[in-house]
Structure 1
Amino acid sequence: MTDVVVYGATSGGVCAAVAAARAGASVVLLEPGRHVGGMTSGGLGYTDVGDARVVGGMAGDLRRAVADHYGVPVGRFAGPEPHVAEAIYTRWLEEAGVDVRFGVSLAAASLGPDGAIGSVVLADGSSAGGAVFVDASYEGDLLAAAGVPHAVGREDRSLYGERYAGRQELVPGRHTVPPWISPFSDDGDLLPQLHDRPLAPVGSGDGGVMSYGYRVCLTQAVDRVPFERRDGYDEAYWELGRRIFDRWRRDGVEVRAGQLLGLELNLPNGKCDGNSIGPFSLSVLDGSAWAYPSAGPAERERIRLHHLHHAQDFLWFLSHDAAVPSAVRAELSAWGYAADEFADTGHLPHQLYVREARRMLGEYVLTEHDLLPTPRPQHDVVAMGSYHVDIREVQRTWRWVAEHPQPVGMVFTEGYLSVPVRPYPIPYRSLVPRFADCTNLLVPVCLSASHVAFSSVRMEVQYQLLGHAAGLAAVEAARTGRPVQSVDVSRLQDALRAAGQVLAL
């Protein structure tokens, strides 16, 4: 039997698998796709670090490996090119002797009477047994298959007494659409790209998740791959964009393509990590992501393709539609896909940016109160978070606005929130289920946290830190035969410190 089975080759999964293997465990890493690294190698090259002082352990190792690759000081680049990130992770896995299996999606988990997972059954009919399991998927599929309680989406403010929980106010800002844009077509139908669902009251829980999207790797190099009009491109889908540009024109707002995509050379070798900026972006805000966490494989694939096509068509629309200002079209015409990135997926990333999905309800639920206004001490700290509370837009919706002589329908974007935090400890108890739910599972990605707290923890660097901790904890549990809830945390903390993990400032 394998000592440690890791499901999901995200950054958290790679770090968990490598840490466990380096500590002497036999490790199998199961990945439904064909690549390792998740978003770190899947388009999110510009890494959201937060406070660099707490980026130690394997997250610090990755920063140094990136610097060594390019021959520059640590931190010179905010992140590596996608293919470089994957190459580093692949080398780590090979050197550690991890058994990596691609194209194996989860079908079921088999639990024994002792509350432990005995094995996982994969969609191809094979299985993998282990002493300890790590769910490092973005979706939390293994924890769900094991019957571990979990939450999805925004909770009500009353649940944990969090100020920032629940549905947000409809307030102006750079991430919402300009005023006075009608949500209706000339025929009276609702426009595409809107979430056709009644708004929940402010502060109430509605199950909404942060929007998903694709981060694209762009370049101005001569060998760039030009944007193409996709078969199936729908002109009507972009009517909202035409109205937004028309509103900006009438309001005298000058718009650049760079403002919509973050077009700056923020990656090595003249590349750009295209971001989701502003009210009209690579993020899909029609509410389709709300169904993704609990959806089956066929429905998830439909949602994924919807997001992929949105990204492709968004770039074509911005660079070719006559309603887009000529300056924007001209600026974007100088850009294209990087020819040496994502060659096997049409130069678009292999990873959908799943900003949040399931969140385990474990031994300790990390909440806003653990981060704000003053970080709460945790005796079992295994990593430190430092990125601000970063709730990306949850939906683009509409409502009736009182006007004479009759109400006017108006489009709004809702959910964005950014609140600074100081470095805070993340407890080991947030990585493990309650004892009664499962005794041999660790969850470093879909960890036990409220929607608000998770919006800070959810960064790739922190997944690396937590994956490192989960990998070492898994080895300790496998070695001693103890439930993961009974691991000697002080021993785990010593091992983490010895590997450079920062547990306090």
Structure 2
Amino acid sequence: MKKIISNCLLLILLFMSNKGHAQQVNKSYDVVVYGATSGGVIAAYTTKKEGKSVLLIEPGKHVGGLTSGGLGYTDIGNKYAITGIARDFFRRIGQHYGKFEQWIFEPHVAEQTFLGYLNSAKVNVLFLHRLVSVKKKDGFIKEITIENSDKPGKSSYEIIKATIFIDCSYEGDLMAKAGVSYFTGREANNMFNETYNGVQLRDRHQFPDGIDPYKIPGDPQSGLLWGISPAALDIQGTGDKKIQTYNFRICLTNNPSDRIAITKPDDYDASHYELLLRYIEKKPAKDLGSFLKVDLLPNHKTDINNNGPFSTDMIGMNYAYPDGNYATRDKIQQAHESYTKGLLYFIGHDERMPLHLRELMLQWGYPKDEYMDNGNFSPQMYVREARRMKGEYVMTQANCQSQKVVSDGIGMAAYTMDSHNCQRIVVNGMVKNEGNVEEGGFGPYPISYRSIVPKANECRNLLVPVCLSATHIAYGSIRMEPVFMVLSQSAAVAAVLAIDMKKTVQQVDIKKLQQILKTNPLADNSTPEILVDNDDAAHVVITGIWATIHQKCYGPSAFTAEGKNDSIKSVKFFPTISKAGKYKVYSYYPKLNNGTSKTSIVVFDGKTKKELVVKESDIQVEGQTAGEWVDLGTYSLPSGKKSFVEITNKHADGVVVADAILFVPENK
């Protein structure tokens, strides 16, 4: 009895001594993924499918980050760059809507799809927990301490251990707390021999000349209108700590049965939108599209993004976000949410707005079936850029433009080098925005594995596929949600290799990593689909003279030929079939203004030729993409290089395109 009492007293003393300190919860995993963004979900899913234990930690209550948080009108650049499970995600979205693949979707459909991945792999997800501290030893993260996001404090602390950690947060908090060096803001152009970094006063999303910045027009003593900074304009290309602006991608609906009226926020201040009035007075707006980028999603919904000089971007109000504590970030996000809701209310209700614009705005409202636990408004602010790691390799403008091409690529990007504005200032007595850059015209390019790993002397068991190592302007091209998914899958496979080989992340065999990503792209050991692109010289035979285009195509280029003339021109695509069986065959069609209304295609299955005529009306190109896959049917194909698909100019009455052919095994 005395022994029992003694043990009870000992337990009480231990509890009292630990009260208010980190609770030693013995939880250990092969891999811990921090941040259930789109990339975080794919990283955790891949890890589990590769046979390792994994914990996915999410500070909020949702998965999918911005992909499920309103960005349903996907920024792509070039579909060729999106591979593996990321591409499979858009195929699953397509299945939901009755298509082969789809890149435009409702927020809740995206979240359901992400949850489908996690549930199928039985991934352990810890919601409402955020990072407190990181413990390192000899360059390795040994453990992290997390707390309950809803009830923060030492009493809610948990300690989590892992062999490898993957930071998939938009903020790079795990990376930063692990002592890994990073960039914020914009580098000067001369730092990496760039031309689009640093201060950029340009003409896109810009106020026209003549818009007065002062509360009383012409009177500097009256003070600046809300949202205008008194800062002076620095020399073009100068580096600084300013952050490109954030916003919300807004999901609204005009379906009366699903619509909730847009009401006035509690902290509404109409003076915050004075510049919009001055802008449309200078440049009258025909419709809402003059200052809101309204892209349509299925079922009468929208993905609204910034458009023009005064829109949903809350310029210059996020500088403290990247390195801010949780309270600071919450305050910034709340300010952005209030600004956005106030803007929508202002457009629809302020009597100074033109009547036709008010009437158009009042047709829209918040959808009842989206974000039902967050007042029908997205919980995910668009953090376009926060911290960027200073890793083993820094991706720069030269990589985007293929002036430098890395050999250790573990994913591709293809989007325009894109930066939203960073500040709103006075230039020559007029209001101007500064920081917007949109420079493209290049094809898909590889992203270095070394850009997702820290320097070896800083941390040896951390991968950072979201806040990766890139300059501000290169990150502007890479920072697309599908690319984050691709890089996060690669990070997960690298983590598994590091564990199996007992290596640091810097010592991972890149060629083996690349091979796994190629031969097991879905991490489920299914037969990979086969892509034959027109640029694959060993698999393409050309008859006649074809021109080459580099825009609106799948991959680096596409072949084009004029309509039928005296000679038939053709391009034959020969797949190498490693496993005989049934394959669904697709042809990719870029949307051209002068394209033929009908294309002749021959499919040869090794025994029989089948001629098809694809009509232009059969090609349903989604609004934000340059082309679409068209189903050519299902065929039993022999192993080897015995079958082909031939595109010809026979029957053509316009430009014929030969771009890419896809062979999808039915057992996939």
TM-score bracket, normalised by the shorter chain, equals over 0.9
- Structure 1 residues 484-503: aligned runs within 5 Å: 484-500=505-521
Greater fraction of residues in helix: 1
- Structure 1 residues 233-382: aligned runs within 5 Å: 233-248=268-283, 253-265=284-296, 267-285=297-315, 287-372=316-401, 374-382=402-410
Once the two structures are superposed, what CA deviation does each residue of 1:295-335 show, in whole Å capped at 9, x if it has no partner?
A: 11111111000100011001001111122111111111111
Once the two structures are superposed, what CA deviation does each residue of 1:53-101 show, in whole Å capped at 9, x if it has no partner?
A: 22110111101000111112323xx322100111111111111121100
Which SS does the other structure have where 2:499 is aligned? helix
Q: What code does the residue aligned with 2:143 have?
A: S
Q: What code does the residue aligned with 1:329 have?
A: R
Question: Separation in 1 of the partners of 2:403 and 2:445?
Answer: 5
Deviation at 1:198, TM superposition (A): 2.8
Residues 302/215 of structure 1: CA separation in 2 closer, same or farther (3 Å cut): same
Q: What code does the residue aligned with 1:425 have?
A: P
Q: Relative to structure 2, which stretch is displaced further, 29-38 or 491-500? A: 491-500
Report the equivalent of 1:108: 133
Q: What code does the residue aligned with 2:96 have?
A: H
Report the equivalent of 2:58: 31
Once the two structures are superposed, what CA deviation does each residue of 1:93-122 show, in whole Å capped at 9, x if it has no partner?
A: 11112110011111111101x200011111
Q: Is the 8 A contact 1:258 1:264 kept in 2?
A: no
Q: Relative to structure 2, which stretch is displaced further, 18-27 or 235-244? A: 235-244
Deviation at 1:416, TM superposition (A): 1.1
Question: Separation in 2 of the partners of 1:38 and 1:196?
Answer: 34
Q: Is the 8 A contact 1:257 1:329 kept in 2?
A: no
Report the equivalent of 1:214: 248
Q: Is the 8 A contact 1:376 1:425 kept in 2?
A: no
Question: Separation in 2 of the partners of 1:110 and 1:143?
Answer: 12
Question: Separation in 2 of the partners of 1:387 and 1:378?
Answer: 18
2:504 to 483, 492, 502: 483
Q: Is the 8 A contact 1:245 1:323 kept in 2?
A: no
Q: Is the 8 A contact 2:199 2:237 kept in 1?
A: yes
In our comparison, the structure showing a higher alpha carbon Rg is 2
1:412 equivalenced with 2:432 (yes/no)? yes
1:44 equivalenced with 2:71 (yes/no)? yes
Which SS does the other structure have where 2:129 is aligned? coil
Question: Separation in 2 of the partners of 1:350 and 1:165?
Answer: 30
Which SS does the other structure have where 1:213 is aligned? coil
Q: What code does the residue aligned with 2:281 have?
A: D
Deviation at 1:258, TM superposition (A): 2.6
Aligned residues: CA RMSD: 1.6
Which SS does the other structure have where 2:71 is aligned? coil
1:90 to 96, 105, 115: 115
- Structure 1 residues 347-496: aligned runs within 5 Å: 347-372=376-401, 374-399=402-427, 401=428, 409-420=429-440, 421-496=442-517
1:164 equivalenced with 2:196 (yes/no)? yes
1:176 equivalenced with 2:206 (yes/no)? yes
Q: Is the 8 A contact 1:29 1:98 kept in 2?
A: yes
Gaps of 5+ in 1: 402-408
1:232 to 242, 267, 275: 267
Which SS does the other structure have where 1:204 is aligned? coil
Question: Separation in 2 of the partners of 1:459 and 1:230?
Answer: 31
Q: What code does the residue aligned with 1:190 have?
A: L
Which SS does the other structure have where 1:127 is aligned? strand
Deviation at 1:199, TM superposition (A): 2.5
Once the two structures are superposed, what CA deviation does each residue of 1:194-250 show, in whole Å capped at 9, x if it has no partner?
A: 2333332211101121100111111110121111011121122222222222222xx
Deviation at 1:263, TM superposition (A): 2.6
Q: Which has the higher contact order (CA 8 A, sep 6+)?
A: 1
Deviation at 1:273, TM superposition (A): 0.6
Once the two structures are superposed, what CA deviation does each residue of 1:406-448 show, in whole Å capped at 9, x if it has no partner?
A: xxx2100111111112110001000100100100000000000
Question: Separation in 2 of the partners of 1:375 and 1:23?
Answer: 35
Deviation at 1:356, TM superposition (A): 0.2
Q: TM-score w.r.t. structure 2 length?
A: 0.71
Q: What code does the residue aligned with 1:417 have?
A: V
Once the two structures are superposed, what CA deviation does each residue of 1:374-404 show, in whole Å capped at 9, x if it has no partner?
A: 35322211001111111111122113x2xxx
1:192 to 215, 226, 235: 226
Deviation at 1:344, TM superposition (A): 1.0
Which SS does the other structure have where 2:134 is aligned? strand
Once the two structures are superposed, what CA deviation does each residue of 1:229-281 show, in whole Å capped at 9, x if it has no partner?
A: 11121122222222222222xxxx3331133222342x111211111111111
Q: Is the 8 A contact 1:375 1:425 kept in 2?
A: no
Report the equivalent of 1:70: 97
Residues 377/172 of structure 1: CA separation in 2 closer, same or farther (3 Å cut): closer
Q: What code does the residue aligned with 2:290 have?
A: Q
1:126 to 140, 154, 158: 158
1:204 equivalenced with 2:225 (yes/no)? no
Q: What code does the residue aligned with 2:231 have?
A: R
Aligned residue-pair number: 485
% same residue: 40
